[in-house]
Amino acid sequence: MEREMERKKKKLVMVGNGMAGVRAIEHLLKLAPDAYEITIFGAEPHPNYNRIMLSSVLAGGADIKDIVLNDWDWYKDNGICLHAGHRVERIDTVRRTVTSDKGLTAEYDSLLIATGSDAFMLPLPGADKEGVIGFRDIKDCETMMETSKKYKKAIVIGGGLLGLEAARGLLNLGMDVTVVHINSYIMNRELDQAAGLMLQKELEEQGMKFLLRKNSSAIIGKKRVTGLAFTDGTEAEADLIVMAVGIRPNVALGVKANLEVKRGIVVNDFLETSEENIYALGECAEHRGITYGLVAPLYEQGAVLAKRLAGLETAGYAGSVTSTKLKVSGVDVYSAGRYDEPEGSRSLKYQDELDGVYKKLVLRDDKLIGAVLFGDTGDGAKLFSIIKSGESVKGREKELLLGAPLGAAGGSQDDRLAAMADDEIVCGCNGVTKAAIGDAVVNKGCTSLGEIKACTKASGSCGGCKPLVEGLLTLYAGDNAKTAVKEGICGCTTLDRDEIVAEIKRMGLKTVKETMNVLGWSNAEGCTKCRPSLNYYLGMLWPEEYADEKESRFTNERYHANIQKDGTYSVVPRIYGGVTSPSELKKIAEVAEKFDVPLVKFTGGQRLDLLGVKKEDLPKMWEELDMPSGHAYGKMLRTVKTCVGSTFCRFGTQDAIGMGIRLEKEFERMNAPAKVKLAVSGCPRNCAESTIKDFGVVAIDGGWELHVGGNGGVHVRATDLLCVVKTEDEVVEWAAAFLQYYREEATWGERTSQWVERVGIEAVKKGLESAEERKALYGRMRTTLDRIPDPWKEIVAEPELRKNFEPIAAAQTVSP
């Protein structure tokens, strides 16, 4: 019977794995979960992620994993075959097939094109030089982050939203940033001149520079960019040029397939193209002569298309009135409708330079047709609702401009929220409407912000809509709203780290499943945030009893290697203190040759990184290396960096190499809340960079300085001096005590730099001042380490475990 049902399923293929297309698939799975056998081709080697949040990744406010909307497991759980890293190059409309750049072909009954758009690159002479990029995807973010480590001067061409987000991120990375814009004021497509100038002033105070009314003519440099030339004869220096001048619908597939294409792939109100059974939506589609780039219209298209594919009645997509609510470098801006004062309109304006507030309403025939808000955007949703309704605002103009006082007729927060249209987008990042939040509260029993976030994803990205979501929760749930309940470690629980650890101790909970069950997890299976953290807390509390749950670890830790963007893995054997030998080097070289490793690289932690390893080769490679893992993938001790110290250096005062090797052998395989890096410098010249490590040791005459809480990453932090000791044994004792104290007190995912900053160095010193307590901490550390086996010994020895590394068939999901 199951096979019969499978045969009845139609084949739906989607080209593109972005926000608009996957949202349509989400809707379809709710409406008709068994109607289609779904295959998705994604050009990037990532699951579906929130492109809007790329600026947060660049700015260091979020990690790549934090912006994933649907993780690898989502595709697997919904029976979706995802071919990540496959770019579809051809559509055969006769045979109804699509073929990727890697030769993979899939048949379809219905085809959905959701290829989005590409960054528009100005056709300037020299645009192909190294260091000239767009800002559109994760790869662009990675390029900018890498560039910032070597170079300092950046130019962003384009003063729109995308350009300003890129510029803010580059500022955070420590670069000198200049924004070049052809217009007389920035964000001219979203704001009027007054608001644009106020925004520019705010950004200049943050360190951003601007060159306005500038038209670029050529990119200067030989192989790599060195500057930008303008049509007025002037030039500006640059080591990196980011073009953020707009997007261009990606219509190449539509053109090849002979679909009707203008600016975008032309679709009707049901998102159908000129070819039967082929649909298009999102930034690549053109509807009634308009292509949309904002998320709300694209999600509206997805809802219509899902109904069409599910065979349900739908009125079709009639186009969208757009609004934009943004937070640019910490400044709130909002625009909606026709704010450009078209003929026959009049405008009302309010400007407060002291408080940085600007408001403008555009009216025509007693109706509100546009609005611009700067600094205070609280009335944005209400104004947008009025614009869409087309109602008369005669006599209420000043009230709308200035905002009615709370408690006044029609002016309370509840009244404003009640007046919002049901289809009003509340969460722009995830396309969640007022109606969806109401449904979550009224029909699905959500009574807290965390539950709404877990159910709808509202407030789950940038968090800018959180006050609005909380207001709607109160509106719909009334006295049942748990607005005062704090958020827990994730959406599955309201408990924070300290409460969870206390309850595990009090009740003697010994497994992840038991903990979630006893402590009332809303999601019985947990999620990718809470399962790894519970696994760590249980192991930390019960080192002699708890059996580590491999299924609660991240992919890299389960496979004991770092997955790379092309799906291959990176292997880093442990090289104690960065000291190796000719025989060890020879062994690594022979293994690299045998397994055809494409790149062998020295890491910043004085290790050798074997990049491009196939997953199925991992067990055999480790077996032949016969070396412990460097744990470059885990939340644990990574490296101990050393200089040559007194062994060779004429400035060295102590044996830095010996001390570094001893520390590394002492703490290898130590699990921690986050990755941990150590360093030992043989003199105050600090060649091993000990003062930006989690635990740094600096040799001085007659002793050692011990430094803690450093970070050399995106958020650079110099260490605090913990103490000065005389002997190597004291160094080890204090290191063990500090690291164990951190293990027991920090929150999962919290680096020592964040932890020390949060609790204060004086609190850390006080916690370690007692010799008796230091010895007790050292003892608990040793108990833990003595129980942890080398995970690779298990993988190599157990045939059953090796099955996890068998090659994945081409037709299966390519996720790890």
Mind listing the pLDDT tens digit for each residue in 685-700?
Answer: 999 999 999 999 999 9
Q: How confident is the model at residue 54 (pLDDT cuts 50, 70, 90)?
A: confident
Residue 76 CA from chain centroid, whole number: 21
Closest-CA residue to 446 (of 457, 433, 435, 437): 437
Residue 446 CA from chain centroid, whole number: 26
32 torsion bin: left (phi>0), alpha (psi -120 to 50), beta (else)? beta
Q: How confident is the model at residue 88 (pLDDT cuts 50, 70, 90)?
A: very high
Instruction: Give the chain's domains with CATH numbers.
Output: 2-118+249-310 (3.50.50.60), 132-245 (3.50.50.60), 497-553 (no CATH), 630-789 (3.30.413.10)
Amino acid symbol at 60: G
pLDDT of 551 higher than 80: no
Residue-level pLDDT at 794: 53
For 94, other C-beta atoms within 10 Å of its C-beta total: 5
SS3 176: strand
Pairing state between β 240-243 and 132-134: parallel
What single string gives the DSSP state of each residue in 53-95?
A: GHHHHHHTSS-GGGGEEE-HHHHHHTT-EEEET--EEEEETTT
* Residue whose structure tokens are 């690898």: 72
Residue-level pLDDT at 208: 92
Q: Which residues lie across from 688 on neighbouring strands?
A: none
How is residue 405 annotated by DSSP?
A: P
Q: Summarize pLDDT for 625-672 with one digit per residue, the tens.
A: 888 888 887 888 999 999 999 888 988 899 999 999 999 999 998 999
Instruction: Return the HEC string of 349-360.
Output: EEEECCCCEEEE
Contact indicator for 564, 573 with CB cutoff of 8 Å: no
Pairing state between β 432-433 and 562-563: unpaired
Q: Is the dihedral of CA 198, 202, 204, 208 positive or negative?
A: negative
Q: Is the dihedral of CA 462, 466, 468, 472 positive or negative?
A: positive
For 480, other C-beta atoms within 10 Å of its C-beta total: 12
* Residue whose structure tokens are 């044996």: 655
Q: Summarize pLDDT for 129-174 with one digit per residue, the tens.
A: 999 999 888 889 889 999 999 999 999 999 988 898 889 889 888 8
pLDDT of 7 higher than 70: no
Residue-level pLDDT at 215: 95
Residue-level pLDDT at 412: 53
DSSP H stretches of helix in 311-396: 380-389
Instruction: Report the alpha-carbon distance of residue 553 to residue 558 in Å, rounded.
Output: 6
Structure-token pair, residue 677: 């890096």
pLDDT of 757 higher than 70: yes
Residue-level pLDDT at 816: 31
Instruction: Report the alpha-carbon distance of residue 228 to residue 121 in Å, rounded.
Output: 14
Contact indicator for 161, 187 with CB cutoff of 8 Å: yes
Closest-CA residue to 348 (of 326, 364, 327, 331): 364
Residue 391 CA from chain centroid, whole number: 40
**CA distance to 197, 370, 373, 393, per residue, from 342 (Å):** 21, 10, 18, 18
Average pLDDT over residues 221-230: 95
Q: How confident is the model at residue 793 (pLDDT cuts 50, 70, 90)?
A: low
pLDDT of 554 higher than 70: no
pLDDT of 177 higher than 60: yes
**Taking each helix axis from N to C terminus, what angle separates 466-477 and 449-456, rounded to the nearest 10 degrees?**
110
For 807, other C-beta atoms within 10 Å of its C-beta total: 10
Best-predicted range by mean pLDDT among 88-102, 442-456, 562-576?
A: 88-102
Q: How confident is the model at residue 444 (pLDDT cuts 50, 70, 90)?
A: confident
Residue-level pLDDT at 815: 31
Residue-level pLDDT at 544: 85
Tell me the residue length of the chain.
Answer: 816
Of the listed ranges 128-137, 408-417, 507-516, the one predicted with least confidence: 408-417
Q: How confident is the model at residue 5 (pLDDT cuts 50, 70, 90)?
A: very low
Longest CA–CA span in the chain (Å) reads 87
Residue-level pLDDT at 58: 77
Q: Which residues lie across from 292 on neighbouring strands?
A: none
Residue-level pLDDT at 462: 58
Contact indicator for 673, 746 with CB cutoff of 8 Å: yes
pLDDT of 809 higher than 50: no
Q: Summarize pLDDT for 711-749 with one digit per residue, the tens.
A: 987 678 999 999 999 999 999 999 999 999 999 999 988
Residue-level pLDDT at 61: 61
Residue-level pLDDT at 464: 63
Instruction: Report the alpha-carbon distance of residue 575 to residue 746 in Å, rounded.
Output: 28
What does the angle CA 454 – CA 455 – CA 458 come to, to the nearest 5 degrees? 75
Of the listed ranges 248-262, 546-560, 772-786, the one predicted with least confidence: 546-560
Q: What are phi and psi of 650, to 5 degrees?
A: -70, -15
Contact indicator for 168, 329 with CB cutoff of 8 Å: yes
Instruction: Report the alpha-carbon distance of residue 144 to residue 779 in Å, rounded.
Output: 44
Instruction: Report the alpha-carbon distance of residue 20 to residue 302 in Å, rounded.
Output: 6
Q: Summarize pLDDT for 594-636 with one digit per residue, the tens.
A: 999 999 999 888 889 999 988 888 888 888 888 888 888 788 8
- The better pLDDT of the pair 613, 180 is held by 180
pLDDT of 430 higher than 80: no
Of the listed ranges 3-7, 223-227, 278-282, the one predicted with least confidence: 3-7
pLDDT of 260 higher than 80: yes
Q: Summarize pLDDT for 290-332 with one digit per residue, the tens.
A: 998 877 788 889 999 999 999 999 999 998 777 766 666 667 7
**CA distance to 119, 227, 328, 479, per residue, from 217 (Å):** 19, 11, 28, 62
Closest-CA residue to 546 (of 598, 510, 576): 510
Instruction: Report the alpha-carbon distance of residue 649 to residue 521 in Å, rounded.
Output: 57
Average pLDDT over residues 751-762: 91
Contact indicator for 360, 194 with CB cutoff of 8 Å: yes
Residue-level pLDDT at 335: 84
Instruction: Report the alpha-carbon distance of residue 47 to residue 121 in Å, rounded.
Output: 26
Instruction: Report the alpha-carbon distance of residue 3 to residue 564 in Å, rounded.
Output: 37
Average pLDDT over residues 556-569: 74
Q: What are phi and psi of 371, to 5 degrees?
A: -155, 145
Residue-level pLDDT at 229: 97
Structure-token pair, residue 181: 């814009």
Residue 710 CA from chain centroid, whole number: 23
Amino acid symbol at 375: G
SS3 595: coil
How is residue 137 annotated by DSSP?
A: S
Structure-token pair, residue 795: 């993988």
- Collect all residues with Cβ–Cβ distance below 8 Å to 621 and sequence separation of at least 6: 571, 591, 595, 610, 613
Q: Summarize pLDDT for 334-384 with one digit per residue, the tens.
A: 888 887 788 888 999 888 877 788 899 999 999 999 898 888 887 887 788
